[in-house]
Amino acid sequence: MPILRFPSEGDVMKTDQIMQNMGFPPDDNSLTVAELRKVVARQVSEGMTHRSYGTWAPGVHSNETRAKAFLAVEWEMQHNHCTEVKCFDGFIRRGFNTKTMRRTIRVKWRYFFPWLGDFWRRAETRLRIWRDDRRGVRNPWS
């Protein structure tokens, strides 16, 4: 169980700075933005120092929509509905030689174990999502 502590003045300033970097003004107190502010404050108190604010088309999305998207991602990360990918390409590479008009298949064995790890992590994530769906646990922000 994490140790609960009151936020310091530095934590509050860091939270406000991160929220402003994410594009949320300090006077915006709508429901989803306030909830996102609480999540960011908790993360800052746990040691977060920086957060990626993403890329948004200017004027297309409201603060509510953007905060809802951030909260949906946070919920999925908190409930382990996401996975880390280490091997973007598979360990089997297919090719085609235009000079000889022959297909080639190359097996890169050094990528086999990272690929296998990714496969199992994806399977575990899908199982977790299926199990939570059967229990009725769903992302309230998506």
> Diameter of the chain by CA atoms?
70
- What pTM value is reported for the model? 0.71
- Chain Cα centroid distance, residue 139: 14
Give the structural domain span for 122: 80-142
| Model confidence pLDDT, tens digit, residues 41-62 | 998 988 888 887 777 777 777 8
20 and 30 in a single domain? The answer is: yes
- 53 falls within a domain: no
pLDDT for position 31: 92
Q: How far apart are CA 71 and CA 30, in angstroms?
A: 14
- 73 falls within a domain: yes
- 56 falls within a domain: no
Spell out the per-residue pLDDT of the chain, length 142, in tens. 555 555 677 788 888 899 988 889 888 889 999 999 999 999 898 888 888 777 777 777 788 988 998 999 899 988 989 887 787 778 888 899 898 999 999 899 999 999 999 999 999 999 999 999 999 999 998 7
21 and 88 in a single domain? The answer is: no
Element (H, E) at 103: strand 102-107
Locus of tokens 């990272």 = 114
